[in-house]
Amino acid sequence: PVLFACSDYNKVLKSKNPQVKYKKAMELYGKKDYLRAVGLYDQLRDLYKTSDSMETIYFYSAMSYYQLKDYQYASMFFKDYTDNFDKSHRFIECSYMGLYCDFLAIGSYELDQSETKHVMEALQTFTNYYPNSEYTQRCNDHLDVLRAKLQMKEYDQVQQYFKMGEFKAAVTSAKIAVKLYPDIKQREELEFLTVKAQFIYASNSIERKRKERFEEVLVNFEDYKYNNDKNSAHYNEALDYKKQEQLVKNYLKDDFRNRK
């Protein structure tokens, strides 16, 4: 039976009758045989260039690629659909699906996120145009997920700098992350890291730079204390660095006086 089915499908592929191809494509789609269905839809797009059936063919081409998890191709066909059939009752649905496929195509936060902001802008534009659409809440949910990915990317970068011993870069990166994403869930930890990393950076600095860099520890601690109370996860540890910083500053002052 399988060989017969393959033989039957190959005959349809080779057929020059578009109605036969169309009927078989819809039959295969209904059976969730998306891979073979899309092979026929690809042929039908060339055969039906000026036909009213093109709208249906484009829609099911896009849906087939979506079901196959080929999100880049699916997005392309959903967007082609909206470009060519802007009066269709499926226009809003396909506009959303194109964006949804773009959302699904974005990998985990460890991977390149260069496209993420573009997708976020497009999702926001959709919600602005269609605030009462059934897809608006879904877009907002996607935005939350993508924002969290960008936040994790920033957080991970700070951690990488710290682990590599790039303490100045860790401090700068942590401050940027908090400024860009004030609601980042690791905010307290990042603000603490500006104290810890700055202290280590100052400790490892050449003598003539230490005083200035240790003073920055105090500045970072005051920023940390302003946003976090005594019950915060890293408060006591941050306070220890602040106390050590004061001892070091006093030592540097005494050392300077002795040299005079």
Q: What angle do CA 212, 187, 242 make, to 5 degrees?
A: 35
| Of 43-52, 148-157, 196-205, the least confident | 43-52
| Per-residue model confidence (pLDDT) at position 110 | 79
Using alpha carbons, select from 118, 124, 86, 81 the residue that is nearest to residue 102.
118
User: What's residue 200's pLDDT?
Assistant: 94
For 146, half-sphere exposure in the C-beta direction (CA atoms, 13 angstrom radius) is: 26
Of residues 31 and 107, more confidence is placed in 31
How does residue 11 score in pLDDT terms, banded at 50, 70 and 90?
Answer: very high
By mean pLDDT, which of 99-113, 169-183, 191-205, 223-237 is the weakest?
99-113
Q: Which residue has the higher pLDDT, 245 or 74?
A: 74
Distance CA 163, CA 73 (A): 39
Token output for 186? 């690791």
Measured CA to CA, the distance from residue 97 to residue 104 in angstroms comes to 10
What's the predicted TM-score (pTM) here?
0.82
